Amino acid sequence: MSEHRTLKSVHLASTVWFIVCVGYILILALRQAGFNWWVIFSLSGHSALLIFLLISLYLFAVYRGVSGIPNIEIEHPLTSTDYYMFFYTSTPFLGGLAGLFGMLGVTKVNQFLLGVSMGTLGTTFLVWVIVDPLTGMVEMLLPTSRKHRADRLAQAEAKREERRKSRQRLLADLLEKEKAGRAHWQQILKPQAEKLATLLASDSISLEQAEREAVDLGANAWQIGGLNCMKQLHDMAVGISRQKNKKEALGEYISIWWDGIGTWRNPSIG
């Protein structure tokens, strides 16, 4: 854990050093081109947000590589080592040292700082953009790396397939349970559905009494199996009513009577 924190600290410091060197090169180039200081600061102000976003994106990518997603040692025998990661994260400092030694004997401060900055920029670009990707590609071409990667991908695919089959089995079990529950409800609700269908067609009792009895039937269905059970009772009663009376609109009375029971809502109102 401490090694990872050290690598992140070194990387943050080296990135700040890299930004300082690039900024110095840019400012010096603009000054040599004849731009005034207020123009330079104006350009820097307009481009500060873009630079910040790019640096933040880069820091996030390297932070993931350093702390969250370590390289697999078998597939990356070199770039996964702490020595290589320390070399990688400290590259801007190494480039600065190279530029420092290259500028020994130079007396002009501007040229000396420019040499150090160019050493930082050149070495960082060489290692981060060219050497590191090529090293990773060479590692992946090794027989042991290729075999381990193939096995790892095969295992990951097998786990995904197993999860998919597990979800399918779970769904099949749920559907089977629902089907069994509906079959069980079919037997229990048949007498109640016949009674509810009779209430729809009966003229011998008042509407108030029919509504009371229908509400009792709906509440009982809600207690047995909730909204799905009420729907099944509704459909069964409507089906029986249609067979006996050949009327399509009678089922609407059930929705009116049951409105407010549990989560049942009358569609024509809601």
Q: For residue 95, what pLDDT is reported?
A: 92
- For tokens 């990667």, name the residue: 149
Can you tell me the distance from the alpha carbon of 197 to that of 254, in angstroms, rounded to the nearest whole number? 9
Phi and psi based region of residue 32 (left: phi greater than 0; alpha: psi -120 to 50; beta: remaining): alpha
Can you tell me the distance from the alpha carbon of 191 to that of 181, in angstroms, rounded to the nearest whole number? 17
Output the DSSP codes for the chain. Answer: -HHHHHHHHHHHHHHHHHHHHHHHHHHHHHHHTT--HHHHHHHHHHHHHHHHHHHHHHHHHHHIIIIISPPPTTT-TTTTSHHHHHHHHTHHHHHHHHHHHHTTT---HHHHHHHHHHHHHHHHHIIIIIIHHHHHHHHHHSHHHHHHHHHHHHHHHHHHHHHHHHHHHHHHHHHHHHHHHHHHHHHHHHHHHHHHHHHHH--SS-HHHHHHHHHHHHHHHHHHHHHHHHHHHHHHHHHHHHHHH--STTHHHHHHHHTTSTT---TTT-
- For tokens 């976003």, name the residue: 53
Can you tell me the distance from the alpha carbon of 206 to that of 227, in angstroms, rounded to the nearest whole number? 27
Cα–Cα separations (whole angstroms), residue 246 to 197, 204, 214, 237? 12, 19, 20, 13
Going residue by residue through the chain (270 aa), what tens digit of pLDDT does each one get? Answer: 577 778 778 878 888 888 888 778 777 766 666 655 544 444 444 455 445 545 554 554 454 444 444 457 788 888 888 888 888 888 889 999 998 888 888 888 888 888 888 898 888 888 888 888 898 889 888 888 888 888 888 988 999 999 999 999 998 888 888 777 777 778 888 888 888 888 877 766 677 788 888 888 888 888 888 888 888 888 888 888 887 766 555 567 788 888 888 878 776 654
- Maximum alpha-carbon separation in the chain: 117
Can you tell me the distance from the alpha carbon of 11 to that of 4, in angstroms, rounded to the nearest whole number? 10
- For tokens 């024509």, name the residue: 268
Note whether 64 and 11 are within 8 A (CB): no
Phi, psi of 145 (to 5 degrees): -65, -45
Q: For residue 84, what pLDDT is reported?
A: 86
